[in-house]
Structure 1
Amino acid sequence: MKALKASICVVVTALALSLSPGTPSHASEDEAGTLTRQMKELYRAGKYTEALPLAQKALALREQEFGPDDAMVAMPLNDLGTIHYNLGQYPVAELLYKRALAIRERTLGPESTEVATVLNNLGELYRVEAHYADAEPLLKRSIAIRQKALGANDPSIVMAMSNLAAVYSSQGRYDRSEPLFKRGLAILQKANGPDDPEATVLMSNLADAYIHGHRYADAERLLKRAMAVTEKAYGPDHPDIAQAQNNLATLYARQGRNNDAERLYKQSVATFEKTLGPDHPDLVDILDNLAAFYKDQGRYADAQQLFKRSAAIRAKARPI
């Protein structure tokens, strides 16, 4: 299940840092700032491949201007790490996050909210790699820092809260994940309204918890809502829509609605392929789900073909 990533909030933080006291002022936006703004727009649209070279160039410019270990370099390091994460390039993302974290802890102190942002991102990276023992303390520390600085109901807490909940869901601990997803969703909707696209991943993850609790009507309502809000904000081709399609297909398969399930699984695969490419790690779960669906129906040749493809993607993403 996809957890809430630091998506646009990372870039908002980056923009705020670039204007913080003590940093160079510019009569107009400099080249690195322009690249960061353009990267932000592409990132929000789920166009991670197009955002990547802009983030790389912004980092190179900041390193050239300030040096490789300056506080101003932490921001583009973190942003570039987030893009590599979204492209499934986890070892590269981990190195960038660790470098950004070291710079921010040294220059801003261990209790800064900027440190909390990188802790969240690194914790989510470990979660998706199933390193739950490493992920949980980082995410808890991120939450604690923001609660101390901003209060228990600040929207910026929701990212790490949702990712911690996803750690619990990934371990089958739905009794612990469901309350966190609900709290995060309530905070975001109170702050930003019912059509906040940043809330849709929480909707999908909460729906997953509902599915495992056999609350199918509640899950279906949330997943359809997540797709509608995301499409309204970003259009029909977005990775979050693909994730919701996968989840809804899984729900329909459990209910025996096989035609609807197969249609949505295929739509999910097509959307992921269109937005992230044919070898992205996020495709693995959907391919495996569709393969298991075919296997249950006795369509063994179709299932085997998909299992082979998912295994190849997994091997490519995490080579031994």
Structure 2
Amino acid sequence: MSRASALYDLGVQCRELGQYARAETLLRQALALTSGNSPRDLALVADASNDLAILFKHTGRYDEAAALYRRALTISRRVLGSDHPRIAGLYHNLGGLEHARGSLAPAERFARRSVAIRERALGPDVVDVARDKAALAAILTDAGRHDEAAELLADALRVFERTPDCESHEAGVVWHTLAAVHNRSGRPDDAESAYLHALDVKTAALGPDHPNLAVTLNNLALLYHRGGRHERAKATYRRCLDLLAARTGEPEHPVWRTCTSNYARLLTELGQPAETRSRLGPQDGCSDDDLPDGVAAE
């Protein structure tokens, strides 16, 4: 194994553990050491660019992520052609990035391309296609197309339930999105159950302190907040913020900004002193909406 490949593998491991600063250093080093034009070198550049883009998307550096995803897509098309499952994975990731930016129309286009390419290559009943359908469902949920989203989520869950490792992070993301569908359809009790199950599944897959739990914690806290369960909302917001502060080191992280603002609003409603709220820092990301979750294609 080359040094660049070893650095890449270690960078991916650190990213998956939520060790984002270390992962960025390793992935940049892998890219710097890969300068050839052989198929192997080009594949490594595409893979490292994709993984670095995933990291940047998780930490809110969306423009950098977009440039790296497109670099990976250009290289991968040249090496693999336009209909390879790896191309579908990059469309999946671009869709997730546009979704995070709130650009639903391009997000849906990318997500549908991902589903179409992967279904043609692999058939409809594999985990990768289920993951693509779940990502598309999350986009449709935010677009208010709840029935279509629920149908896609049911398809995805059937695949996960037939898969030996169905208690995976991917399954947790499906449950998170299903909770959002329930919530926006006026079923808060079903939403709470689904968010709690999503947390259980994601915690089992990632551990209790992984930053990818934060988006589900924020949405669960917001559900409690809306339902007048203020003490439970406070505890859940705090858990979300503590987790992000400890693991990402990024006060500009989009989930951090949203959760901070939602928590500050709750404290205001409860008459908490201004100095208590001021310790939370900038509060410009307030959102009445559930945050989307997503799994990047590796």
Q: Could you tell which deviates more after superposition, 193-202 or 289-298?
A: 289-298
> Is 1:310–2:294 an aligned residue pair?
no
Note if contact 1:295-1:303 (Cα within 8 Å) is conserved in structure 2.
no
Could you say what secondary structure the match of 2:102 adopts?
Answer: coil
Distance, in Å, in 2 between the alignment partners of 1:106 and 1:303 is 55
Note if contact 2:36-2:42 (Cα within 8 Å) is conserved in structure 1.
no
Note the 1:73-222 alignment, pairs <5 A. Answer: 73-222=45-194
The match for 2:253 is 280
Shift of 1:65: 6.9
Shift of 1:68: 12
Q: Normalization by structure 2: what TM-score?
A: 0.85
2:13 to 41, 44, 53: 41
The match for 2:293 is none
Structure 2 unmatched runs, 5+: 287-298
Higher relative contact order (CA 8 A, sep 6+): 2
Note if contact 1:292-1:303 (Cα within 8 Å) is conserved in structure 2.
no
Shift of 1:118: 0.9
Distance, in Å, in 1 between the alignment partners of 2:285 and 2:152 is 34
Task: Kindly provide the CA deviation profile for residues 238-295 of structure 1, in whole angstroms up to 9, marking residues without a partner as x.
Answer: 1232222222212222322111111111111111121212221221221232233234
2:236 to 264, 273, 294: 264
Task: Kindly provide the CA deviation profile for residues 168-201 of structure 1, in whole angstroms up to 9, marking residues without a partner as x.
Answer: 2223332332222332233223213442233112
The match for 1:3 is none
For residues 67 and 234 of structure 1, do their structure 2 counterparts lie closer, same or farther at Cα, with a shift above 3 Å needed? closer
> Is 1:227–2:203 an aligned residue pair?
no
Note if contact 1:87-1:280 (Cα within 8 Å) is conserved in structure 2.
yes
For residues 293 and 280 of structure 1, do their structure 2 counterparts lie closer, same or farther at Cα, with a shift above 3 Å needed? same
Note if contact 1:74-1:101 (Cα within 8 Å) is conserved in structure 2.
yes
Read off the aligned partner of 1:165 and give its amino acid letter: A
Note if contact 1:74-1:99 (Cα within 8 Å) is conserved in structure 2.
yes
For residues 72 and 245 of structure 1, do their structure 2 counterparts lie closer, same or farther at Cα, with a shift above 3 Å needed? closer
For residues 158 and 306 of structure 1, do their structure 2 counterparts lie closer, same or farther at Cα, with a shift above 3 Å needed? farther
Q: Could you tell which deviates more after superposition, 158-167 or 132-141?
A: 158-167
Shift of 1:70: 3.4
Distance, in Å, in 1 between the alignment partners of 2:8 and 2:44 is 13
Note if contact 2:131-2:170 (Cα within 8 Å) is conserved in structure 1.
no
Shift of 1:166: 1.8
Q: Could you tell which deviates more after superposition, 33-42 or 296-305?
A: 296-305
For residues 259 and 30 of structure 1, do their structure 2 counterparts lie closer, same or farther at Cα, with a shift above 3 Å needed? same
Q: Percent identity?
A: 32
Distance, in Å, in 1 between the alignment partners of 2:157 and 2:21 is 29
Task: Kindly provide the CA deviation profile for residues 115-148 of structure 1, in whole angstroms up to 9, marking residues without a partner as x.
Answer: 1111111111111111222111111011100000
Note if contact 1:94-1:125 (Cα within 8 Å) is conserved in structure 2.
yes
For residues 185 and 286 of structure 1, do their structure 2 counterparts lie closer, same or farther at Cα, with a shift above 3 Å needed? farther
Read off the aligned partner of 2:55 and give its amino acid letter: I
Could you say what secondary structure the match of 2:34 adopts?
Answer: helix
- Between the two proteins, the alignment pairs up a number of residues equal to 285
Structure 1 unmatched runs, 5+: 1-28, 314-320
Read off the aligned partner of 1:206 and give its amino acid letter: L
